[in-house]
Amino acid sequence: MQNNVLILDFGSQYTQLIARRVRELNIFCEIKPYNHLPSDLSNYKAVILSGSPFSVRAENAPHPDLSGIKGKKPLLAVCYGAQYLAHFHGGEVAASNTREYGRARLSTILNGTPFFNGIPENTQVWMSHSDTIKRLPANAKLLASTQEVANAAYTIEGEPTFGIQFHPEVYHTTEGKTLLKNFLVDIAGLEQTWTPDAFVASTVEKLKKQLGKDKVILGLSGGVDSTVAAVLLHKAIGPQLHCIFVNNGLLRKHEFDQVLDQYQHMGLNVKGVDASARFLNALAGESDPEKKRKIIGGVFIEVFDDEAHKVRDVKWLAQGTIYPDVIESVSVTGGPSATIKSHHNVGGLPDFMKLKIVEPLKMLFKDEVRRVGASMGVEDERLGRHPFPGPGLAIRILGDVTPEKVAILQEVDAIFINGLKEWGLYDKVWQAGAMLLPVQSVGVMGDERTYEKCVALRAVESTDGMTADWVNLPYEFLQKTSNDIINKVPGVNRVVYDISSKPPATIEWE
């Protein structure tokens, strides 16, 4: 793929945002860690250097060999990247005397440069750095400044190299998308051909060649990723795809039957397996969140393996892996810096299954998966489904899991989710759910004293789940939902609403 952008990641929290903004311009891009620079750069038509939590002045600062890039390919260096080019090419970087973080305005922009075409002076940008460029690198030409930052943007004369101290990828840089388009389309000459239809056409052809007449199995979850992966594979190999939808007993109310029916109406070759008792028996008495997740993952593999062996001559396992999972598995540090919760590993498959892996969505972000699904005619109800955790309601039941607790939470969850849909709020929320807390509280119903369970409702807005804010749901909606839960779900006498953001809190409670 010649129409491609390489993004070198120096560990910035914003690197994925750079990729998302580039993809929004219908241009394909890939993120690679700075310490895993591709040996063959011929596929890349332009390169972007990300920001970083490091200082270029530090001994352990990222220091890749850019000799095959700088001066040879269009290069955009963002924040740390701009400081890196300055520091190692005759400029000077020093600690900033003032805190350069947050909104700023480009008070001076050099006229006539295509890099800033269509971007007015005084435009808002977003700064996030503690070092600053005191002196530009050799042969550099200043392009823009702010009140606090003299060297906010520059270019290297005689080569298509640009450095900017601000972040064009974040929402608060109002003309960031325009700037990226100027660099990628007008300067680097990239074509804006990365569209859902183009992705479907090219991926189906690749899958046909890759899989041939082989049989493939895929575990469906009811979620967006596995659904779109199934439809894409079905377009390529038809009935050679065998889908398995496992009921772990921890799904939402009636979800197993409803989703299975929807899949069958989509023409997929799908088998439903009700393994509820097997999962719930394995979970009996366990209250540790990590152990619950591992138990559920282990039982799922056992059930899936049992069913996979019933399909003869299967050679491939399909997975709904998406790009953020891939990026995390090959990040600058080789993985997440700290384990917050257990998560599926990319390609995480027991050795005894001996199947090859096919991951048709592994280069897509979640919003791109939805657009690809829409282009293939997948119903909005499937594509707009809120993310739902793999362990299901088990990690929304704090403490041990019992069939009785699952039944209570299914009823509470149904009232909450159906209410969001009835009030026209569901599509305004990124994820919502109810938590069953391991506490009981005193209540009064009629003339009787009660001592029953408490549930917490959670609704957040986000784009990718990495950060999230709680949603300010209408008081009238919360009032009605609370009344309906307490009146209709035996065993619950108190409802609370979670107004924590991520970070510091996570979206799920376990």
**Catalytic machinery residues:** 79, 167, 169
Strand partners, 153: 144, 164
Q: DSSP assignment of 152-183, as one string?
A: SEEEETTTTEEEESS-TTSTTSTTHHHHHHII
- The single residue listed with the structure tokens 């300055």 is 86
Starting at the edge strand found earlier in the chain, the sheet holding 314-318 runs 270-274, 241-247, 215-220, 314-318, 356-358
SS3 assignment, position 15: helix
B/e letters for 78-103, b = 16+ CB within 10 Å, e = fewer, are bbbbbbbbbbebebebeebeeebeee
Q: Rounded distance, CA 326 to CA 318, Å? A: 15
Helices (H) and strands (E) in the chain, counts: 13, 18
Alpha helices in 249-288 (DSSP H): 255-265, 276-283
* Both structure tokens of 270: 């799908």
CA nearest to 237, candidates 245, 227, 229, 226: 229
Burial class of residue 502 in the structure, from the number of CB atoms within 10 Å of its CB (0-12 exposed, 13-18 middle, 19+ buried)? middle
Q: Distance between CA atoms of 230 and 268, rounded to whole angstroms?
A: 8
Query: Which are the contacts of 238, defined by CB distance < 8 A and separation ≥ 6?
Result: none
Strands, E assignment, 195-261: 215-220, 241-247
Give the Cα separation of 151 and 127 in Å (integer).
12
Beta-sheet strands, E only, within 65-91: 75-78
Contacts of 391 (CB under 8 A, 6+ apart): 250, 292, 293, 296, 297
Cα–Cα dist 197/479, whole Å? 44
